Chain A
Amino acid sequence: MLLIPCPYCGPRPEIEFSYGGEAHLARPRDPAACDDAAWGDFLYARTNPKGIHAERWRHAHGCGRFFNALRHTVSDQFLITYRIGAPRPEIAA
């Protein structure tokens, strides 16, 4: 079981968390201004990288807060977690 560092509570076991999909996909400010392809991308296109993935997690059975994490999809290691709104940290693979 992974140990996930909640930015608010510290390291907690994986079963306390829920996964929230790829991070940094902000809902467009004016959806009506998006053409169909852009909205389709927002809905469905994901990077799915082999390597470092920025993703959303929620400490669902803890503080309840959402946060972002960089996780390596090959090693399954959490490299860093950070608060919603903070920029994606620069980290080498």
Chain B
Amino acid sequence: MRAAFRMPAGGRIARGETLSFRFDGRIYTGHPGDTLASALLAHGVHLLGRSFKYHRPRGVLAAGSEEPNALVEIDRGGGRRTPNLRATEVALYDGLVARSQNRAPALSFDLGRINDFFAPLLSAGFYYKTFMWPRRAWRMLYEPLIRRAAGLGRAPEAPDPDRYANRFGHCDVLIVGGGPAGLMAALAASAGEARVVLVDEQAACGGSLLDETTATIAGQPAPVWLAETLATLNARATVRLLRCATAFGYYAENFIAIAERVTEHLADPDPGLPRERLWQMRAREVVLATGATERPLVFPGNDRPGVMLAGAARTYLNRYAVRPGRRAVIVTACDSAYQAASDLAAAGVEVALIADLRDTLPAVASDLAARGIRVAAGMTVLGTQGGLRVRSVAVAPARGGASVRLACDLVLMSGGWTPAIHLFSQSRGQVRFAADLGAFIPDRSVQRERSAGACRGLLDLAETLADGARAGAAAARAAGFPVPDLPRPAVAGAITPAGFHLGLCPRAAATRAFVDFQNDVTAKDIARAAQEGFHAIEHVKRYTTTGMATDQGKTSNLNALALVAAATGRAIPEVGLTSFRPPYTPVTFGTLAGLSRGALFDPVRTTPIHPWAEARGAVFEDVGAWRRARYFPRSDEDMHAAIARECRATREALGLLDASTLGKIEVVGPDAAEFLERFYVNALRKLGIGRCRYGLALGENGFVRDDGVIGRLAPDRFHVTTTTGGATATLDRMEDYLQTEWPDLHVWLTSTTEHWAVLAVQGPQARAALAPLITDIDLAPAAFPPMSVRVGHILGVATRLFRVSFTGELGFEINVPADYAGAVWEAVAARVAACGGAVYGTEAMHVLRAEKGYAIIGQETDGTVTPGDLGLDWTIGKGKTDFIGKRALALPDLRRPGRKQLVGLLTTDPALVLEEGAQIIAGPNPSPGSTALGHVTSAYPSATLGRSIALGLVAAGRQRLGARLYAQTPGGVAEVDLVSPVFFDPAGRRIDG
């Protein structure tokens, strides 16, 4: 297809190379340097999409990231389908595949268009009014139908196959925006040693200078000045230019988030490169040179394809050598549109009329009139006509009189320019309303930041350049780098964009006069919201959804404010301004996630035994960040059978558990014993060397926080274990007390969790199994009683051997350095097998300890449980005057009778296993509003006991032993009997083997 609207010369495109691409299945051509929008416009294609709510045909409004209409889906193949990309930002590459969105069955014939004829039903507050009733309609109608009819593209369904990178950056001066102000700021800031980063969202730096054909800077044509400036900056080693990079978030302490598009715009990217890269940039000083966005005028049919911002038309013409139409009508309240008219006329586009909303024409008007172009002051625009493309526009005198329809295929509009204060506002800077500009501009900075150029309302090119130089130099100096002032460059041939209009055009109807193009919000919607009592702009915004689309109202916010102000009889500053929030433009989830996906999302901790367990077909479970073997099924076993076998083997012969995840802390120093005495409830000061004690740690509020075993290895050295989940918190709490409350104590804490692997050998055969492997520790009961620790060797590997039991059986816990753990495990596992034992996992460990009534901190406790509630008052050292939590245990509520206490629960149906968390109630039919007596904390089938068992916390539980209560189950209420939590070997005889 011939690109009939491409000019024979000019533009910043590489004409020597022709690229071919598809849009909705049709093949078109373009050149490197084109965007998808410019290439389509070159073929006369203006219809690019359907609108969100009314499915109105929409074209290209703008030429940059503010574009609200021209949203497309780009399909890069292999699941790489991205919706809602602005065609004005999509750089063209060979083979690009793009599709229009939100249309069925075809862009030119869309059944959803019927929504437009029902527009009165879909007006402001439609969502709130319609979706109220009936409930069934949600499922039947609203969700399936309305959600499909209204929307923005299709989310991709396949996992994202691309790679994303993350980089932390630091610089002295960060400049956001590579237009005239940003370039001058970079020149000035980089005159010394400061490290300068310039970020620009476009593929080419230059901003408005890329569209400039007539202006001269410092005596040179603007394009020449631009090229020389970029060459100067590129030659400076201290300057980094980031192109295709959007600074989308401005956070505390000059922390700027930048999304850099690395390969998406390339037809054949280096596979080693990521698709996008997230920069987390910390800058000493920031210069915001984010420019300004042209505002549409609000009049009926201002959204028809062929209606465009005047500055955008100039961009397409000068930068891409594309005529956006054949016959243009220009309606404007700003002088910059005259520049567009002048350039279009010079390029052979017929300019039928420049209708100026202002009563007085600017000086530049006479230049155009002299070239035979009709210019009229005091005009307004009443509407456009046409189907899929504008056919004519109705203009009329603003103060009354007959309107006239002018045939055209292009309507250019300009309501003036809105400074882009998004990042400034995100930085928490205070803005003020500049009445002479009709816009908000930066007032007071909060961070080490300064705005320069158009984004602070300086729209004149000469002023913008000078302001950039001033800001760049000031930033470098503030960062500690002396730099000279740059001379102010002379500028000629540029028109200053003076003048603006806000709100509805005079005499124009509010119906179908679009304010927010992307969310289909009209002037009428906003007026209705005001009528219905929504006066605060944040309320109007939510009620009408104006400014809430993916463009965040870049082209619409000020017009919306002006309409609310007009409807409520207030000035714009009184109406206020909605908050700007990151991201400035949409950012992909991939960029935010970076490499934190899949296995890298939340790294898994494994023990040195993990490969062995994996090879044996263990089933794993996640315990905090750890991955632990839950059970080891044999080929013919299901989970229950495997756990039952592991439990039976341990009780009858021997079991081996990988307990390496236990938290371990080495507590060392002359005051170590005193410290532990204060930290734990137990009496530890006089703990003998080689002895262990069960330790219970409370918070100052008296509630149980952690438990473990404390072994004394020397007068000044303790081996302390914690729960798997509590390891970090316990070490942190210990550090806290040592550093802040008891800095006089000389104690050093070291986490040894990953240093020591732990092999728990439990069962009547434990001693027999280990005896051949250990030569220098006497395992005899008298020499090595329960709750003691010995240092020696197993298979020649240094070990700390504990005689402890979490099963109620004769037990040892072998601590060996992790690097040797694999070999030691293999040998011990062989001995266990030889003794008729089994390796068991965490599930059997849970069952075995529950049979003994041992509480697991975090399972039986929930942060409101005292030692007494668990029946562990015996652990509290008698005669201790103080320990963490002691004082709180004396508070009335912690001594209150009727507190929930740990009990055993036996269902009358022995096969029924209760659900953990099930409520315990007094009767089978609790009256509404009655309170549960407690809840189930653990429940298992017990192979040892041949029936189910459960632990629970029940109010005054120990006084209710023998009572029959009830538990909620999915199948109804079940009878349970309250019993002692020690189901097995209550006399504790088995501990000696």
Give CA–CA (A83, B740) in the complex, Å: 10
What is the bound-complex CA distance between A64 and B740, given in angstroms?
Answer: 12
Q: In the complex, which residues of chain A have a beta carbon less than 8 angstroms from the beta carbon of B735?
A: 58, 64, 66
User: How many whole Å from B587's CB to the nearest CB in chain A?
Assistant: 16
Partner of A20, one of B736, B743, B887: B736
- B220 nearest CB across to chain A (Å): 42
Question: How far is the CB of A66 from the nearest CB of chain B, in Å?
Answer: 5
Q: A1-B253, A2-B253 are in contact. Are A56 and B740 (CB under 8 A)?
A: yes
Q: Is the CB of B736 within 8 A of A26?
A: no
B700 on interface, CB distance cutoff 8 Å: yes
B714-749 interface with A by 8 A CB criterion: 732, 735-736, 739-741, 743
Tell me whether A76 is interfacial, beta carbon within 8 Å: yes
* Contact (Cβ within 8 A) B881 A32: yes
B-contacting residues, A1-47, CB 8 Å: 1-3, 13, 18, 20, 26-27, 30-32, 34, 36, 39-40, 42-43
Given the interface pairs A32-B887, A36-B891, the reply to whether A85 lies near B743 with Cβ below 8 Å is: yes
**Given A32-B881, A66-B739, A76-B252, A60–B892 Cβ distance below 8 Å?**
no
Across the interface, which residues of B come within 8 angstroms of A39, CB to CB? 887-888, 891
- Give chain A residues whose Cβ lies under 8 Å from the Cβ of B428: 75
B255 in contact with A31 (CB, 8 Å): no
- Nearest CB of A to B174, in Å: 15
A1-B252, A1-B253, A32-B882 as given contacts; A66 in contact with B700, CB under 8 Å: no
**A13 CB contacts on chain B under 8 angstroms:** 255, 282
In chain A, what residue has the closest Cβ to B738? A66
- Contact at A26–B282, with CB atoms within 8 Å? no
Report how far A70 CA is from B558 CA in the complex, Å. Answer: 39
Tell me, in angstroms, the Cα distance from A84 to B251 when the chains sit together.
Answer: 29
Q: A65: CB under 8 A from chain B?
A: yes
B-contact 0/1 string along A70-88, CB 8 Å cutoff: 0000011000000011000
List chain A residues, Cβ under 8 A from B882: 30-32
CA distance A43 to B446 in the complex (A): 37
Measured between beta carbons, the chain A residues less than 8 angstroms from B732 are: 18, 58, 60
Nearest CB in chain A to that of B892: its residue: A36
B913 CB, nearest partner CB in chain A, Å? 39
Give every chain B residue within 8 A of A40 (Cβ-Cβ): 891
Chain B positions within 8 Å of A27 at CB level: 700, 741
Is B886 in the interface zone, CB < 8 Å from A?
Answer: yes
Instruction: Determine the chain A residues whose CB is within 8 A of the CB of B892 once the complex forms.
Output: 36
Contact of A3 among B253, B700, B739 (CB under 8 A): B253
Partner of B740, one of A32, A36, A66: A66
Does B229 make an interface contact (CB < 8 A)? no
List, in ascending order, chain A residues with CB within 8 A of B701's CB.
Answer: 43
State how many angstroms separate the Cβ of A60 from the closest Cβ of chain B: 7
A42 to B253, CA, bound (A): 34
Give the size category of B's interface with A: 20 to 34
Per the 8 Å Cβ criterion, residues 427-454 of B in contact with A are 428, 446
Instruction: Choose one: B255, B887, B890; the contact of A1 (CB below 8 Å).
Output: B255
A-B contact number at CB 8 A? 55
Q: Are B700 and A26 in contact (CB under 8 A)?
A: no
Min C-beta distance of B678 to chain A, whole Å: 10
Q: Indicate if the CB atoms of A43 and B888 lie closer than 8 Å.
A: yes
Q: Could you tell me the distance between the alpha carbons of A12 and B741 in the complex, rounded to whole angstroms?
A: 25
Interface residues in B238-285 by Cβ distance below 8 A to A read: 251-253, 255, 280, 282
Interface pair A3/B887, CB less than 8 Å apart: no
Distance (whole angstroms) from the CB of A32 to the closest CB of chain B: 7
Q: Which residues of A contact B881 (CB under 8 A)?
A: 32
- B887: which of A2, A34, A84 is its contact (CB, 8 Å)? A34
A13 CB → nearest B CB, Å: 8
Are B252's CB and A84's CB within 8 A? Answer: no
Q: Which of A56, A64, A84 contacts B743 (CB 8 A)?
A: A84
Are A65 and B739 neighbours in the complex by a CB distance under 8 Å? yes
Which A residues touch B891, using CB under 8 A? 36, 39-40
Distance A85 CA – B741 CA, assembled complex (angstroms)? 9
Q: How far is the CB of A27 from chain B (nearest CB, A)?
A: 5
Bound CA–CA A32/B891 (angstroms): 11
A56 CA to B428 CA in the complex, in Å? 26
* Nearest residue, chain A, Cβ from B701: A43
CB distance from B934 to the nearest CB of A (A): 25
CB distance from B650 to the nearest CB of A (A): 39
Q: How far is the CA of A58 from the CA of B743 in the complex (A)?
A: 15
Residues A31 and B887 in contact in the complex (CB < 8 Å), given A20-B736, A26-B741: yes
Bound form: Cα–Cα A30–B882 in Å? 8
Q: Mark B689-716, 1 if CB is under 8 A from A, else 0.
A: 0000000000011000000000000000
Closest A residue by C-beta to B741: A27
- For residue B882, which residue of chain A has the nearest CB? A31
How far, in whole Å, are A42 and B888 apart by their CA atoms in the complex?
A: 10
Q: How many Å from the CB of B283 to the closest CB on chain A? A: 11
User: Known contacts being A31-B882, A32-B887, is A2 close to B252, with CB within 8 Å?
Assistant: yes
State A43–B699 Cα separation when bound (angstroms): 10
Report B744 CB to chain A, min CB distance, Å: 11
Residues of B886-933 contacting chain A, CB below 8 A: 886-888, 890-892
Q: Least Cβ distance of A30 to chain B in Å?
A: 8
C-alpha gap A76/B446 in the complex (Å):
12
Question: Taking A31-B882, A60-B732 as contacts, is the C-beta distance between A84 and B888 under 8 angstroms?
Answer: no
CA distance A89 to B428 in the complex (A): 27
Closest Cβ neighbor of A78 among chain B residues: B253
Residues of B within 8 A of A56 (CB): 740
Minimum distance in angstroms from B924 CB to a CB of chain A: 39
List residues of chain A with CB within 8 A of the CB of B890.
36
| Contact for B251 among A1, A26, A30, A64, CB less than 8 A | A1
Chain B residues with Cβ under 8 A from A60's Cβ?
732
B668 → chain A closest CB, angstroms: 16
**Complex: A22 Cα to B781 Cα, angstroms:** 51
Q: How far is the CB of A93 from chain B (nearest CB, A)?
A: 15
Interface set, chain B 669-701, CB cutoff 8 A to A: 700-701
Could you say which residues of chain A place their CB within 8 Å of the CB of B280? 1
Q: Which of A3, A36, A84 contacts B282 (CB 8 A)?
A: A3
The CA-CA distance from A31 to B882 in the complex, in Å, is: 7
Q: Is the CB of A3 within 8 A of B252?
A: yes
A48–chain B nearest beta-carbon distance, Å? 18
- By a CB distance below 8 angstroms, the chain B residues around A31 are 882, 886-887
Interface centre among B252, B282, B741, B881 (most CB of A within 10 A): B252
Whole-angstrom distance between the Cβ of A14 and the nearest chain B Cβ: 8
* Distance (whole angstroms) from the CB of B407 to the closest CB of chain A: 57
| Cα A56 to Cα B740 with chains together (Å) | 10
Query: Is B253 within 8 A of A43, CB to CB?
Result: no
Instruction: Give every chain B residue within 8 A of A3 (Cβ-Cβ).
Output: 252-253, 255, 282
For A39, A56, A84, the residue with the greatest tally of chain B CB atoms inside 10 Å of its CB is A39
A1 CB to nearest B CB, Å:
5
Q: Which residue of chain B has the shortest Cβ distance to A38 in the bound complex?
A: B887
Query: CA–CA, A75 to B447, complex, Å?
Result: 11
> How far, in Å, is B646 (CB) from chain A's closest CB?
38
Residue pair A66, B253 in contact (C-beta under 8 Å): no
Q: In chain A, residues 48-75, which have Cβ atoms closer than 8 Å to a Cβ of chain B?
A: 56, 58, 60, 64-66, 75
Closest A residue to B885 using CB positions? A31
Report whether B739 and A84 are in contact in the complex, using a CB–CB cutoff of 8 Å.
Answer: yes
- What are 11 sample pairs from A and B whose C-beta atoms fall under 8 A apart? A3-B252, A3-B255, A3-B282, A27-B700, A31-B882, A31-B886, A32-B881, A36-B890, A36-B892, A64-B735, A84-B743
New A-B pairs, 20, CB < 8 Å, besides A3-B255, A58-B735, A64-B735 = A1-B252, A1-B280, A2-B252, A2-B253, A13-B255, A18-B732, A20-B736, A26-B741, A27-B741, A30-B882, A31-B887, A32-B881, A34-B887, A42-B700, A43-B700, A43-B701, A56-B740, A66-B735, A66-B736, A66-B740
- Nearest 9 interchain pairs by C-beta: A31-B887, A3-B253, A66-B739, A1-B255, A2-B252, A27-B741, A39-B887, A84-B740, A43-B701
Give me the interface of A with B, judged by CB distance under 8 Å: 1-3, 13, 18, 20, 26-27, 30-32, 34, 36, 39-40, 42-43, 56, 58, 60, 64-66, 75-76, 84-85
